[in-house]
C-alpha cells in the first residue's frame, strides 16, 4: 500500500505554528488563566501512608472570614463513581499525599493557611510499601475485600494481589529441553515519576444555569469532561473543557486529580476557582510509574537460536487495584523475538502508594528491561555479539506474537542493522567504560479522532482537531493537510478547540496523535478535494469528474479553465455555501515501532557515578512527518529512560512517607548529565496508514533501561539487576565485589 513515495510537504523540517508563542512566553498553560472574581484553592493531604479516617472537622475553617468553601469526600455528588476516592479520600487514606479535603479562599496564602485548621482524626495503619510486603503471609490488607482475579481456582480469602494473568504459546518443557544454555535472573525497577515540568493546575467556573467551564492542562480534554461530569452528575453539554497548552504529560496527564474538586468548590462558593499543585504534591499524589519485580528465564542453543523464554512479572498498582500496566508489560516483553515457546505470568499488586498512572509505553520499559538485560547476558554466555544474537532471533513480518496476531512488516531488523553500522558501535571503549545494546517494542494505538477543516474565503484553511498537542503535532497536521490538498503548509492553521466545538477525540497517548488524528486530517482534506471539484464543476458547468485537482489548482479537463483554492472559496457562497471537510474516524491499524539503542557509559569507580558518554537511538518511524520532532521524540525518550536507569526513584521511609518529593532529590537528567544523542530514523512504512506512519512517541523510553544497565554492568564487571544504578548502589556493588 504505502511504497516509498516522494512527498512535497511531509518530511520537511517546517517551523511549528505554536512555536512563536512558546519562545516569547505568550503561550498559555494550565496555571496562566485568571478570571474576574477568582479565588484560590488548596488541598489538605494525608500525612500518613495508610490510615483510617476516623473523623474530619471543618468547622474552624468554615468560620474563617477569607474561606469561601470547603469540600470533603461527602461533597462529591456521585458517590458511586469508582474515581471518587482518589479525588478525595473516603474511609481510608491510602498513600502519603492522598487528598483529604479542599479549601477555597480569597487568596492562595489564606487557603494554604486554612488547611492547618482542618482537624482530621486518623487511626494509623501499617503501610504496605513493596511487592514482598504485600504478598507476605499474614500481610495487612489494604482492601479488606480484594479477591484475586484470574486464578485457576478462585481464592476464598482476600489479599493484596488484585489480579493474575497468563499467556503462553508453544511447549515450554520441550523448548527448555532443547537449550544448551539456560540463564535465569530477577530484576527490579523502582517507583518513578513522569516528571513533566508543568504541575497539574486548573481554573474552573461552575455555572448553575448554563455552561460550566474547566481550563486545564491535559492529554485529553474529553476525558476530563467525561470524568468530571460523571463525578458531579452533570450533563456533558453543560460542561466545557478547554485544553490549555500542556507542559508535558508522558501519560501522567490522562487522569483527573483537581478538576472535579475545583468545580465542587466553585459551585459551593459561587466563584471561579483556581488550583495548582506544588511540586511536592505532584510527586506524592500524581503520576507514578509502576515499580516492578520481574523474573526471566531464557534458553538457547549453542548456535544462538533461542528455544524458550519465560517470565513472571509483579507490578505495583499503587493503592488502587488494577491500575498497573500489567497487560502491556506481559504482552510486550518477548515481542522482539521470534521464538516458538514463550510463557508469561503477571500479577497486579496493591501497595500504599499513589495510584499508578500511564507512563510512556506503560508497562513496557520495566518488562523489556528485564528481558533485554538477560538477552545481553545470554549473548555473553554464548560468545555472540549482542546485535548478531538479536538479528538471528529477531521478530519480523509473520512472526507469531505471544499476545495474538502475527506481525505485519516491522522495522526491527533494519534498526538492528543500522545499530551495527553506526559510528558508535564501531568505536572503541576505554578503561571503566561499558557498552549496552537493547531493543524496544511498543504497539501504538489508533482510536477515535475528530477533525474539521474549515476553508476560509481567502482559500486558507483552519484545522480543528480534538487532540491536545504535547510535542508539536499541530505542525504535522498542517503538513498532512497540505500534502493531501497539494497546497503550501502555511495555508493551514491547526488549533485544538474546546470540547464544545469539536466532537470527542480520544486522549493524546499511545503515540496515536500523528498517526490517528493525522488520518482524520487526511480524510477531512480528501473531503475538501471532493468539494473543490464539485464547486469548480458548478462554476464551469461541467461534471465533478471532469475536474482534476493538481498542485492545489482545479483544472477543467474538458475545456479551458483553472481555479485556485482561493477562487473556489471566494465563490463558495454562490456554489452551495462554505466548504468544510470532516474527518470523524476510529483509526485502526496502528503499526508497532521497534527501536534499538546503544549506550556507552563510564563509571567512576571511586564514587559509583555513571556518565553516559555516547548514545545512539535508532527507531522505525514508518514515515517521519516532521523529522525534527521525530528525532526529538527519540532523544527525549532516551533521556527519560536514562534517568530511569541511572538515578530516578521514589525513596520512602519506614513509615511509607516519600522523602524526595522535589527535583533536587528526585534527579531527572540535566543538560550537564547527557551527551548529544544521535537519532537515526529508520522508515519501514506501516501498511495500514496512507503515508505509512507509525506512532513514535513512546518506544524510545524502553531500550535505555537495559542499554544503560548492561553498559554499567560491563564497565564494572558486575551484573547489576536493580534500578536505578545510582552512585550509592553502584559503589556498594563495587566495594562488595
Nearer to another protein, 32 or 75 (CB): 32
Element (H, E) at 529: helix 518-540
CB neighbours of 147 closer than 8 A, spacing ≥ 6? 154, 155, 157, 158, 159
Placement of cell 510486603 in the chain? 133
CA neighbor of 213 nearest in space, from 225, 197, 196, 201: 225
How near is the Cβ of 596 to another protein at its closest, in Å? 17
Strand pairing class (562-564; 461-465): unpaired
* CA dihedral sign of residues 523, 526, 530, 532: positive
Rounded CA gap, 522 and 485, in Å?
9
Nearer to another protein, 190 or 199 (CB): 199
How near is the Cβ of 217 to another protein at its closest, in Å? 9
| Cβ neighbours of 119 (radius 10 Å) | 12
Q: Which three cell numbers stand for residue 495?
A: 488549533
Give the DSSP per-residue string, 402-426: SSSSBP-S--HHHHHHHHHTSHHHH
Nearer to another protein, 107 or 237 (CB): 107
Q: How far is residue 736 from each of residues 156, 730, 733, measured CA to CA in Å? A: 45, 10, 5
How near is the Cβ of 194 to another protein at its closest, in Å? 8
Helix (H, G, I), strand (E, B) or coil at 387: helix
How near is the Cβ of 547 to another protein at its closest, in Å? 32
Helix (H, G, I), strand (E, B) or coil at 111: helix
Rounded CA gap, 138 and 444, in Å?
40
Rounded CA gap, 567 and 575, in Å?
12
How near is the Cβ of 273 to another protein at its closest, in Å? 15
Omega cis (within 30) before 686:
no
Nearer to another protein, 514 or 713 (CB): 514
Strand pairing class (562-564; 580-587): unpaired
How near is the Cβ of 202 to another protein at its closest, in Å? 14
Rounded CA gap, 395 and 393, in Å?
7
Nearer to another protein, 13 or 732 (CB): 13
Looking from the CA of 599 toward its CB, the CA atoms found within 13 Å total 33
Identify whether the C-beta of residue 298 lies closer than 8 Å to the C-beta of residue 309.
Answer: yes
How near is the Cβ of 552 to another protein at its closest, in Å? 25
How near is the Cβ of 246 to another protein at its closest, in Å? 6
Q: Which three cell numbers stand for residue 148?
A: 484475586
Nearer to another protein, 299 or 327 (CB): 327
Nearer to another protein, 386 or 636 (CB): 636
Identify whether the C-beta of residue 368 lies closer than 8 Å to the C-beta of residue 702.
Answer: yes
Nearer to another protein, 151 or 181 (CB): 151
How near is the Cβ of 201 to another protein at its closest, in Å? 9
Nearer to another protein, 205 or 626 (CB): 626
How near is the Cβ of 632 to another protein at its closest, in Å? 6
Nearer to another protein, 359 or 652 (CB): 359
How near is the Cβ of 141 to another protein at its closest, in Å? 26
Identify whether the C-beta of residue 646 lies closer than 8 Å to the C-beta of residue 725.
Answer: yes
Placement of cell 476516623 in the chain? 54
Nearer to another protein, 97 or 304 (CB): 97
* C-alpha angle 678-675-367 in degrees, rounded to nearest 5: 70
Nearer to another protein, 109 or 578 (CB): 109
Nearer to another protein, 354 or 375 (CB): 354
How near is the Cβ of 342 to another protein at its closest, in Å? 10
Exposed, middle or buried by CB within 10 Å (0-12, 13-18, 19+), for 85? buried
How near is the Cβ of 56 to another protein at its closest, in Å? 27
How near is the Cβ of 483 to another protein at its closest, in Å? 19
Identify whether the C-beta of residue 377 lies closer than 8 Å to the C-beta of residue 185.
Answer: yes
Nearer to another protein, 10 or 720 (CB): 10
> 64-84: buried (b, 16+ CB within 10 Å) or exposed (e) per residue?
beebbbbbbbebbeeeebebb
Q: What is the CA radius of gyration of the chain?
A: 27
Amino acid at each position: 500500500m504505502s511504497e516509498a513515495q516522494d512527498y512535497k510537504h511531509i518530511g520537511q523540517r517546517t517551523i511549528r505554528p505554536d512555536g512563536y508563542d512558546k519562545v516569547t512566553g505568550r503561550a498559555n498553560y494550565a496555571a496562566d488563566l485568571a478570571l474576574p472574581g477568582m479565588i484560590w484553592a488548596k488541598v489538605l493531604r494525608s500525612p500518613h501512608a495508610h490510615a483510617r479516617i476516623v473523623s474530619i472537622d471543618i468547622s474552624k475553617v468554615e468560620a474563617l472570614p477569607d474561606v469561601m468553601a470547603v469540600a470533603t469526600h461527602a461533597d462529591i455528588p456521585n458517590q458511586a463513581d469508582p474515581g471518587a476516592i482518589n479525588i478525595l479520600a473516603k474511609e481510608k487514606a491510602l498513600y502519603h499525599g492522598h487528598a483529604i479535603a479542599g479549601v477555597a479562599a480569597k487568596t492562595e496564602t489564606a487557603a494554604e493557611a486554612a488547611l492547618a485548621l482542618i482537624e482530621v482524626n486518623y487511626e494509623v495503619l501499617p503501610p504496605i510499601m513493596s511487592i514482598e510486603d504485600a504478598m507476605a503471609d499474614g500481610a495487612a490488607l489494604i482492601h479488606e475485600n480484594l479477591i484475586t482475579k484470574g486464578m485457576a481456582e478462585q481464592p476464598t480469602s482476600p489479599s493484596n494481589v488484585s489480579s493474575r494473568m497468563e499467556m503462553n504459546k508453544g511447549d515450554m518443557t520441550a523448548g527448555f529441553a532443547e537449550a544448551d544454555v539456560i540463564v535465569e535472573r530477577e530484576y527490579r525497577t523502582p517507583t518513578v515519576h513522569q516528571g513533566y515540568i508543568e504541575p497539574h493546575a486548573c481554573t474552573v467556573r461552575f455555572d448553575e444555569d448554563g455552561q460550566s467551564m474547566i481550563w486545564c492542562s491535559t492529554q485529553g480534554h474529553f476525558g476530563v469532561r467525561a470524568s468530571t461530569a460523571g463525578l458531579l452528575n452533570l450533563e456533558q453539554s453543560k460542561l466545557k473543557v478547554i485544553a490549555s497548552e500542556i507542559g508535558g504529560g508522558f501519560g501522567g496527564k490522562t487522569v483527573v486529580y483537581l478538576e472535579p474538586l475545583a468545580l465542587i468548590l466553585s459551585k459551593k462558593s459561587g466563584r471561579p476557582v483556581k488550583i495548582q499543585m506544588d511540586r511536592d504534591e505532584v510527586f506524592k499524589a500524581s503520576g507514578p510509574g509502576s515499580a516492578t519485580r520481574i523474573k526471566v528465564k531464557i534458553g538457547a542453543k549453542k548456535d544462538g537460536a533461542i528455544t524458550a523464554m519465560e517470565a513472571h512479572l509483579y507490578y505495583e498498582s499503587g493503592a488502587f487495584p488494577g491500575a498497573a500496566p500489567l497487560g502491556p508489560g506481559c504482552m510486550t516483553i518477548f515481542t522482539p523475538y521470534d521464538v516458538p515457546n514463550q510463557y508469561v505470568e503477571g500479577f497486579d499488586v496493591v501497595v500504599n502508594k499513589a495510584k499508578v498512572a500511564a507512563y510512556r509505553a506503560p508497562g513496557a520499559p520495566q518488562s523489556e528491561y528485564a528481558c533485554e538485560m538477560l538477552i545481553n547476558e545470554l549473548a555473553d554466555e554464548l560468545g555472540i555479539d549482542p546485535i548478531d544474537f538479536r538479528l538471528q532471533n529477531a521478530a519480523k513480518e509473520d512472526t507469531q506474537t505471544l499476545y495474538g496476531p502475527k506481525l505485519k512488516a516491522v522495522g526491527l531488523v533494519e534498526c538492528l542493522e543500522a545499530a551495527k553500522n553506526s559510528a558508535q558501535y564501531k568505536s572503541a571503549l576505554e578503561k571503566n567504560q561499558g557498552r549496552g545494546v537493547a531493543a524496544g517494542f511498543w504497539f501504538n494505538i489508533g482510536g477515535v479522532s475528530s477533525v474539521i477543516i474549515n476553508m476560509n474565503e481567502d482559500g486558507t484553511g483552519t484545522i480543528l482537531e480534538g487532540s491536545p498537542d504535547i510535542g508539536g503535532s499541530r505542525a504535522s497536521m498542517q503538513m498532512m493537510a497540505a500534502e493531501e490538498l497539494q497546497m503550501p503548509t502555511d495555508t493551514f492553521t491547526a488549533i485544538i478547540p474546546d470540547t464544545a466545538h469539536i466532537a470527542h477525540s480520544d486522549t493524546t497517548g499511545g503515540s496515536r496523535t500523528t498517526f490517528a488524528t493525522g488520518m482524520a486530517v487526511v480524510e477531512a482534506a480528501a473531503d475538501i478535494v471532493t468539494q473543490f471539484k464539485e464547486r469548480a464543476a458548478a462554476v464551469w458547468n461541467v461534471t465533478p469528474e471532469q475536474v482534476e485537482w493538481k498542485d492545489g489548482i482545479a483544472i477543467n479537463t474538458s475545456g479551458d479553465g483553472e481555479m485556485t483554492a482561493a477562487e473556489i472559496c471566494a465563490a463558495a457562497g454562490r456554489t452551495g455555501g462554505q466548504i468544510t471537510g470532516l474527518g470523524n474516524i476510529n483509526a485502526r491499524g496502528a503499526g508497532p515501532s521497534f527501536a534499538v539503542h546503544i549506550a556507552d557509559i563510564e563509571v567512576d569507580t571511586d564514587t559509583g557515578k555513571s556518565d553516559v558518554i555516547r548514545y545512539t537511538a535508532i527507531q522505525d518511524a514508518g514515515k517521519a512527518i516532521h523529522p525534527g520532532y521525530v528525532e526529538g521524540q527519540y532523544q527525549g525518550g532516551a533521556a527519560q529512560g536514562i534517568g530511569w536507569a541511572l538515578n530516578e526513584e521514589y525513596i520512602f521511609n519506614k513509615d511509607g512517607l516519600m522523602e524526595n518529593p522535589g527535583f533536587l532529590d528526585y534527579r531527572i537528567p540535566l543538560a550537564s548529565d547527557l551527551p548529544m544523542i544521535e537519532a537515526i530514523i529508520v522508515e519501514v512504512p506501516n501498511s495500514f496508514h496512507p503515508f505509512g506512519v507509525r506512532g513514535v512517541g513512546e518506544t524510545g523510553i524502553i531500550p535505555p533501561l537495559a542499554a544503560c544497565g548492561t553498559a554499567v554492568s560491563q564497565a564494572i564487571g558486575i551484573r547489576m539487576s536493580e534500578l536505578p544504578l545510582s552512585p550509592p548502589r553502584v559503589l556498594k556493588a563495587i566495594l562488595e565485589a
